[in-house]
Each structure stands twice: as structure tokens, then as C-alpha cells.
């Protein structure tokens, strides 16, 4: 076996050792995180700089090769998997581009290579006594470029927004190798169209993000965490409204899990202590601010006491140490792994306005039960910002054909509820390959046509991640 001859020029640019063309070396990049889709690529190419990315893109254009950008490969919808529509292709993996370029505590910003792991960026910010707030279960392996390309949300979006709100500047290499330098640290800029927003959430279909200027924030000096239980979604939402009124901007996270989701986690991770294993709803609340006098803890306690008195929740436990708070978060962060182990997960990333959330939960669960009575309905998510993940967990042994048919029926039913309540089918995970048909059904044709037009302008040959978000061609 020898590498495909179309890779010769690319090998000269990045070095032969950074063109992984043998099956065993490529394999980890060919299958998505859920293990559902496996594709093919001539090679996984690992450039070390923006200049190398630019030259690789130009050479790939000459050879007629498509490009599938890949970060940490932790995405939920096979957006980084090189599937049939992308052939012939290379996977462009930015893991060697992992430099923190600079940090400015005065400017509250930092510039990074797109291949930096999210956790590495959080650490670098912390060393400068600043906070980079994006936080999610995959933060030890996902990359900033992937976070930008998916417009990631995570557990701090309630307070700090999604990735779109955290990016000041971008560096992007286009399909033909041109470098688009938008690496500004400016907070205000009215000089025409703001191009960065086209690339944020574009899932590798418009260009390769190679660098970014990110917003930083002051490090909170106090942080308090509580785990509460509630009998109803109305109670959960009442607690959220009260938390907003009493804690204002210090409300940092407000996450919810239903009883089935807690049971799924308990089965997979029995070592995690569950404060309320039988509660219909569990809520993880975190507040953080600059106070150093203990007043934050007192405010959280007062909030919980009032919520208890008003009958919004049933019980609550406050973390007494950082380790205790981490144990609460370990439950929340165990969701994805545990659900994957529980069966075939038909997952939804719906967002509806908060005032529709109670109806959404009831109607989505009823809709799933109507088409798939055997499904376990596990619900978790960032309820504070309206984003719930409703999972229908089907028996693993039902077989691929049943899984696919049921998944389509279940998602159509949930999406109908989402649409009726004025929501969107993806809040943070994106569309990728897995949800192309669902997107086409959920949004007006005119919008898809406009998106396709934008893609054609930036990528006229359709070589950037073909088949993702909408059908290739
Ligand atoms: C345990 C777990 C928990 C998670 N929790 C959350 C959560 O709370 N919130 C959330 O939003 N997501 C969550 N995710 C999903 C996932 O981590 C995010 O979507 C993340 O942003 C993907 O980053 P990545 O580097 O792994 O990207 P990949 O999976 O490698 O790629 C995702 C998309 O980005 C594109 N891409 C990657 N790098 C680049 C680049 N440099 N330039 C252009 N395009 C690029 C790819 O082509 C693909 O379209 C979770 C995943 C796991 C496994």
C-alpha cells in the first residue's frame, strides 16, 4: 500500500508524517462520536500553521479534493465525518495548531489557534486571572475551531451567551486557500457587514477557522452551587424566575434533569452520589460574583428557602466545598456518556421560549410515547436559556432498520411540537449530516436557498464539507 498520488503535493507542505493515510491511523477520524456513521478519506492531514492550511487548501483545489475540517470529533450530528457526499476528500485536523497567541487582561481578550482544546483555553485565561466562560462536557477534547463552527452553547450560555457572543475576531482560510484576516480585538465596529458571524455555526461548510480572538471576563471571586428537586416543570420554571429576580446577573447556570435521566446516569455511573434519585425533576443552580464576604452563599440560601416556602421545589442541598460542587457537576456532565450506554439515543436539541417550556415538555413526551411507547424519555438541558435535550432511548438490540425508522418518526413528532411552540430544532449542536432532512422540513425554502447562495459565493466548487447542513450540489 502507498498513499494516493493526489496527496504528494500536500505531503510536501505538511511533511509526510502529518499525512495519515494508513487505515489504522485514519480510523479515529472516520467515525462520529456517537459511533453511528463511518466515512472514508484519502488521508487525515495535520497542518501546523495558517500558512500550511492555506497551501494545503490551494493544493487540494488543484487536485479536486474536498475538505472535511475536524476538531476534537466530539460533535453530536456527524458534521465532521467524511461521508459519501464528500468523496474524494481529506480530513483536515487542526490538533497541531494549538498555540495561545496572546492574552490581554486589559483588553479582556485572547487570541488562539483554532486547534486549541477548550480546556487549554480556559486554563490560559485563568492563569491571566480571567475567565473564558464556555464550558461543556467535552471540554477536555473539543477544539475552539469546532466550538466556533458549531456555535457551541454549554452550561454557561445563560450568563455569557453562546460561542457567537464570545468571538471578537476570526481568521479563516477559504476553499481556494485565501486567508481572510478578521482577527480584530475591537468591541465596536460598524464598518460594513460583520463577516465573522457567517462562519460561526457554519459547520466547516464555508471555510477553515484557523484562529480566533475570544472575549474574556473577570474571574468571579465566589461561586456557590446547589442541587434541588422539584415536583413539576412549573416549579422548575418558578424557581428560575425567582433566581433571576434575587440573583440577577450572578445566576451562572441553571440545568435540569428529569427522573428518567437521573436513572440512566445512576445505572452507568453508580459511584456518583445522587442527592434526589426519585425526584421528578432535579435542578443544578450555580451563582457566581465578585463578592468576598460570603453574601453570595447567603443569597443562594435565601433563594432556596423562599422557593421551598412558595412550594416551587421540594428539597435542596448546598455544596459545602469545591469538591462537593464538582460532584454535582459530575452528575450533569455524565449525561451524554450514560445515555449512549443506555440504548439507541434519538436526541433532540430543541429550544423554545421559556413561556412555552412547560407545554413543550408535556407535549414532546406525549408525542414520543404516541409513536414509540417502548422508549425511555430522558430529559436534560440548559433550561435557563430555553434549550432542552429530549432523548428517546430505544432498546439497543432493536436493529438498525427499526432504529432508523423510529428515529425519523420520533424526531418528526418532537419537531412538530417545537415548531408549534415557536422554537428551533437545534440550539447548540448544529445540523451536520444527521439532521439535514429535519432542517429542510423545519425552515422555509427561501432560507435554505439563501444559505446555499452564500455557500456558493465562498465555495463555488462546493468542496467544503459537502453534504452537511444541506444536501450537496
Ligand atoms: C460529553 C459531551 C458533552 C457535550 N456537551 C455539549 C454542550 O453542552 N453544548 C454544546 O454546544 N455541545 C456539546 N457537545 C457537542 C460538541 O462537544 C460540540 O459541538 C463542540 O463544539 C464540537 O467541537 P469539536 O472540536 O469536537 O468539533 P468536531 O466534532 O470535530 O466538528 C464539529 C463541526 O465543526 C467543524 N469544524 C471543526 N473544526 C473546524 C475548524 N477549525 N474550522 C471550520 N470548521 C471546523 C467540523 O467540520 C464539523 O462541522 C458535547 C459533546 C460531548 C461528547
69, HSE (Cβ side, Cα atoms, 13 Å): 32
pLDDT digits (tens, 9 = 90+) for 411-461: 999 999 999 999 999 999 999 999 999 999 999 999 999 999 999 999 999
Decide: 388 and 361 in contact? Cβ < 8 Å: yes
Pick the closest to residue 332 from 447, 448, 225 (CA basis).
Answer: 225
Q: Is the pLDDT of residue 254 over 70?
A: yes
4-12 long-range contacts, CB within 8 A, separation 24+: 4/42, 4/43, 6/42, 6/63, 6/64, 6/65, 6/88, 7/42, 7/43, 7/90, 9/59, 9/62, 9/63, 10/43, 10/45, 10/56, 10/59, 10/60, 10/63, 10/90
The protein residue with its alpha carbon nearest to ligand 1, atom 8, reads 154
CA of 198 to the centre of ligand 1 (A): 17
The count of other CB atoms within 10 Å of the CB of residue 279 is: 21
The protein residue with its alpha carbon nearest to ligand 1, atom 15, reads 75
Cα distances from 70 to residues 172, 220, 454, in angstroms, run 14, 33, 22
Which is the closest atom of ligand 1 to the Cα of 114?
Answer: 41
Pick the closest to residue 430 from 89, 251, 201, 240 (CA basis).
Answer: 201
pLDDT digits (tens, 9 = 90+) for 280-318: 999 999 999 999 998 999 999 999 999 999 999 999 999
How many whole angstroms separate alpha carbon 145 and alpha carbon 132?
Answer: 15
Decide: 93 and 113 in contact? Cβ < 8 Å: no
pLDDT value for 471: 86
Q: Is the pLDDT of residue 377 over 70?
A: yes
Pick the closest to residue 136 from 387, 316, 351 (CA basis).
Answer: 387
Residue-averaged pLDDT of the chain: 97
Q: Is the pLDDT of residue 358 over 80?
A: yes
Q: Would you state the cell numbers that stand for residue 346, as one nine-digit string?
A: 434519538
φ, ψ for residue 98, nearest 5 deg: -130, 40
Confidence band (pLDDT; 50, 70, 90) for 473?
low
CA of 81 to the centre of ligand 1 (A): 12
The protein residue with its alpha carbon nearest to ligand 1, atom 41, reads 145
Q: Would you state the cell numbers that stand for residue 319, as one nine-digit string?
A: 455544596
**How confident is the model over 169-186, as a mean pLDDT?**
98
* Chain length of the chain: 473
* Ligand 1 site, CB within 6 A: 33, 68-76, 79-80, 94, 114, 136-138, 142-143, 145-147, 149-150, 152-154, 203-204, 208-209, 336, 428-429, 465, 468
CA of 152 to the centre of ligand 1 (A): 7
Q: With pLDDT > 70 as the criterion, what percentage of the chain qualifies?
A: 100
Listing DSSP states for 34-91 in one string gives TS--B---SEEE---SHHHHHHHHHHHHHHT-EEEEESSS--SSSTTS--GGG-SEEE
Cα distances from 117 to residues 125, 140, 141, 367, in angstroms, run 13, 7, 6, 38
pLDDT digits (tens, 9 = 90+) for 140-173: 999 999 999 999 999 999 999 999 999 999 999 9
pLDDT digits (tens, 9 = 90+) for 185-202: 999 999 999 999 999 999
**How confident is the model over 346-350, as a mean pLDDT?**
97
Bridge partner list, 262: none
pLDDT value for 443: 95
Decide: 62 and 12 in contact? Cβ < 8 Å: no
**Torsion, CA 396, CA 397, CA 399, CA 400, rounded to 10:** 20
Peptide bond between residue 20 and the one before it cis (omega within 30 degrees of 0): no
CA of 21 to the centre of ligand 1 (A): 24
Q: Would you state the cell numbers that stand for residue 446, as one nine-digit string?
A: 427561501
Amino acid at each position: 500500500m502507498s498513499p494516493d498520488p493526489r496527496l504528494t503535493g500536500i505531503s510536501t507542505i505538511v511533511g509526510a508524517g502529518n499525512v495519515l493515510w494508513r487505515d489504522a491511523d485514519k480510523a479515529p477520524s472516520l467515525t462520529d462520536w456517537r459511533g453511528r456513521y463511518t466515512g472514508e478519506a484519502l488521508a487525515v492531514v495535520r497542518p501546523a500553521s495558517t500558512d500550511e492550511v492555506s497551501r494545503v487548501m490551494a493544493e487540494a483545489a488543484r487536485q479536486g479534493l474536498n475538505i472535511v475540517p475536524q476538531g476534537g470529533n466530539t460533535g453530536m450530528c456527524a458534521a465532521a465525518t467524511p461521508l459519501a457526499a464528500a468523496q474524494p476528500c481529506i480530513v483536515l485536523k487542526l490538533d497541531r495548531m494549538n498555540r495561545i497567541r496572546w492574552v490581554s487582561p486589559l483588553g479582556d481578550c485572547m487570541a488562539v489557534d483554532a486547534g486549541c482544546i477548550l480546556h487549554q483555553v480556559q486554563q490560559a485565561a485563568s492563569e491571566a486571572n480571567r475567565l473564558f466562560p464556555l464550558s461543556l462536557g467535552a471540554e477536555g477534547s473539543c477544539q475552539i475551531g469546532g466550538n466556533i463552527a458549531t456555535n457551541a452553547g454549554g452550561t454557561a450560555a445563560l450568563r455569557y451567551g453562546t460561542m457567537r457572543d464570545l468571538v471578537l475576531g476570526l481568521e479563516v482560510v477559504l476553499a481556494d486557500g485565501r486567508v481572510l484576516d478578521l482577527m480584530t480585538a475591537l468591541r465596536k465596529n460598524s464598518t460594513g457587514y460583520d463577516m465573522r458571524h457567517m462562519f460561526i455555526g457554519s459547520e466547516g461548510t464555508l471555510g477553515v477557522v484557523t484562529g480566533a480572538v475570544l472575549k474574556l471576563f473577570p474571574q468571579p471571586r465566589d461561586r456557590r452551587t446547589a442541587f434541588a428537586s422539584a415536583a413539576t416543570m412549573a416549579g422548575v420554571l418558578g424557581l428560575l424566575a425567582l433566581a433571576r429576580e434575587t440573583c440577577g446577573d450572578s445566576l451562572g447556570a441553571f440545568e435540569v434533569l428529569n427522573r428518567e435521566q437521573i436513572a440512566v446516569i445512576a445505572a452507568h455511573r453508580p459511584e456518583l452520589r445522587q442527592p434526589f434519585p426519585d425526584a421528578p425533576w432535579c435542578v443544578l443552580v450555580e451563582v457566581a460574583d465578585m463578592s468576598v464576604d460570603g453574601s453570595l452563599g447567603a443569597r443562594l440560601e435565601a433563594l432556596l428557602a423562599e422557593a421551598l416556602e412558595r412550594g416551587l421545589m421540594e428539597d435542596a442541598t448546598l455544596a459545602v466545598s469545591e469538591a462537593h460542587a464538582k460532584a454535582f457537576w459530575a452528575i450533569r456532565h455524565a449525561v451524554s456518556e450514560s445515555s449512549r450506554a443506555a440504548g439507541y439515543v434519538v436526541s433532540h436539541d430543541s429550544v423554545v421560549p421559556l413561556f412555552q417550556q412547560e407545554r413543550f415538555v408535556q407535549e414532546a413526551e406525549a408525542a414520543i410515547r404516541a409513536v414509540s411507547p417502548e422508549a425511555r424519555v430522558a430529559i436534560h438541558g440548559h433550561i435557563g436559556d430555553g434549550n432542552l435535550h429530549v432523548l428517546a432511548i430505544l432498546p439497543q438490540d432493536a436493529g438498525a432498520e427499526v432504529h432508523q425508522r423510529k428515529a425519523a418518526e420520533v424526531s418528526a413528532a418532537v419537531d412538530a411540537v417545537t415548531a408549534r411552540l415557536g422554537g428551533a430544532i437545534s440550539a447548540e449542536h448544529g445540523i451536520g449530516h444527521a439532521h439535514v432532512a429535519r432542517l429542510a422540513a423545519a425552515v422555509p425554502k427561501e432560507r435554505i436557498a439563501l444559505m446555499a447562495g452564500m455557500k456558493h459565493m465562498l465555495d463555488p466548487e462546493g468542496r467544503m464539507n459537502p453534504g452537511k447542513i444541506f444536501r450537496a450540489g
